[in-house]
Structure 1
Amino acid sequence: MISLEFLVTSLVVVVTPGTGVLLTVSTALSQGRLAGVYAAMGCTLGILPHMLAAGLGLAAAMHAGSLAFQALKVLGVLYLLYLAVLTWRDRTAFTVDEARPPVRVWSLVTKAILLNSLNPKLSLFFLAFLPQFMDASAAQPLVAFGVLSAVFMTMTLAVFVGYGMLAHGFRSIVIQTPTVQAGLRKSFAVAFVFMAARLAWTEGTP
């Protein structure tokens, strides 16, 4: 059921930087290793709504109805722009300060969940990608779909945590002066705007 082709293709998809990777890396850089792990967990959990919707056929109905797809896309774009504004205005971000307040776990996880939950490109992915690796003659197609989805989510978590660890490893190196801190903060804010623009151009068909 789980082929090498599926694993390799999934890895390529997961490793390719997107909004989840951007949030995880920026969080690990600005708040530390543990915060990066929580962001990765939230992004992974944000896949669940799309997986369940696709498995139950709701995603197909959503994409058949352009209005529903466009509504979700608009919400996703607005949320990315909201994150861009927050990042731009947070002048305490990307500062190496051991006295920083504790990580707000639920706030961070919720932010990451919302980020992926409001990304209609994920439901497109589950509709167009996973079925290619399913056996059409499988006795329980939903079970097969669930297994492949679980493997994909596990890979997502592992890769995102890896991105976070890598970012944290360079944290003390790349964040040395107020100028660098401001540059990183503004760069990530602009990156969120870029992701919002790219999402806005997403078509409603797989």
Structure 2
Amino acid sequence: MISIEFLLTSLVVVLIPGTGVLYTVATGLFVGKRASLFAAFGCTLGIIPALLASAFGLAAIFHTSALAFQIVKYVGATYLLYLACHMWRSSAPLSVPEGKANTNYSGIILKGFLLNILNPKLSIFFLAFLPQFIPTTVDSVLMNMLMLGAVFMLMTFAVFIVYGFLSSRFSEFIKNSKRASIAMQKIFATSFAALGLKLVFS
């Protein structure tokens, strides 16, 4: 049985802007509504490895092994800094493609997936978060963790879609304003860099 407390707490966690939200919003702004759906899907897929690691106890490795945790953390931070650098160095304003043929949806999904899979804190979060909402009387702790994780993923996907669709409403303005496009590009690049540095020093 899924409690109201779990649903409300999960909603608050999902609503807090992080790398996934930032990526989905940026995709909605600069590529469009349809692309933001794929970005949300990719970020949601990136939750699966962390969920499985937590459910099967593999996240304990990150908790007990400083080396394993640090390796994954620095790889994730490097990827965020790479995205920030790539976006900052682009001299041309970002634009919204007019045709579907110009959009690499598989690439959008992959980037979103990597953003979450390279965040070792996600598995630690599930390991600490999910057990709080599992009754001690349940027959299978594993099945309950997987069920709660699946609900968390569905909520993540739904909220990210809303973020992406809302941001896509401003895509026309971004497309028609070179100055606004470049300014938003720099803001997102700085945000990705800040998140990467935060991951390094946390």
Provide, for residues 100-120 of structure 1, a one-character-per-residue CA deviation record: whole Å limited to 9, x for no partner.
Answer: 852111111111101100011
Q: 1:124 to 1:10 in 2, by over 3 A?
A: same
Tell me the percent identity. Answer: 47
User: Closer, same or farther in 2 for the Cα pair 1:176/1:133, shift >3 Å?
Assistant: same
What is the aligned partner in structure 2 of residue 21 from structure 1? 21
Measured at CA, do residues 195 and 179 of structure 1 come closer, stay the same or move farther in structure 2, by a change above 3 Å?
same
2:31–2:171 Cα contact (<8 Å) kept: no
Q: 1:87 is matched with which residue?
A: 87
| Unmatched 5+ stretches in structure 1 | none
Could you tell me which residue of structure 1 aligns to residue 145 of structure 2? 145
Distance in 2 (CA, whole Å) between partners of 1:65 and 1:99 is 48
Shift of 1:39: 0.5
Name which of structure 1's ranges 17-26 and 101-110 shifts more when overlaid on structure 2: 101-110
Once residues 100 and 182 of structure 1 are traced to their aligned partners in structure 2, the CA distance between those partners, rounded to angstroms, is: 23
Q: Distance in 1 between matches of 2:88 and 2:62?
A: 33
Q: Which runs of no fewer than 5 residues in structure 2 stay unpaired?
A: none
For the residues of structure 1 that align with 2:154 and 2:93, how far apart are their CA atoms? Answer: 29
Query: In 2 relative to 1, CA 185–136 (structure 1 residues): closer, same or farther, beyond 3 Å?
Result: same
Tell me how far apart the structure 2 counterparts of residues 28 and 135 of structure 1 sit (CA, whole Å). Answer: 39
Query: Is 1:190 matched with 2:180?
Result: no
Moved over 4 A (4+): none
CA distance in 2: counterparts of 1:93 and 1:155, whole angstroms = 33
2:115 paired residue number: 115
1:113-135 C-alpha deviation (Å, 9 max, x unpaired): 01100011211210111111011
Pairwise CA distance, 1:175: 4.8
Q: Which deviations, in whole Å up to 9, do the C-alpha atoms of 1:20-45 show, x marking residues without a partner? A: 00000001111111110000000000
* Residue in 2 that maps onto 1:9: 9
Taking structure 1 as the reference length, the TM-score comes to 0.93
> Against the structure 1 CA distance between its residues 93 and 119, is the aligned structure 2 distance closer, same or farther, given a 3 Å change threshold?
farther
SS at match of 1:173: helix
Aligned residues, how many? 202
Q: Using a 3 Å threshold, how does the CA distance of structure 1 residues 18 and 158 change in structure 2: closer, same or farther? A: same
Pairwise CA distance, 1:63: 1.4
Task: Tell me the TM-score normalized by structure 2.
Answer: 0.95
- Residue 95 of structure 1: how far off its partner (Å): 2.1
CA distance in structure 1 between the partners assigned to 2:169 and 2:53 by the alignment: 37
Secondary structure of 1:167's counterpart equals helix
Report the equivalent of 1:45: 45
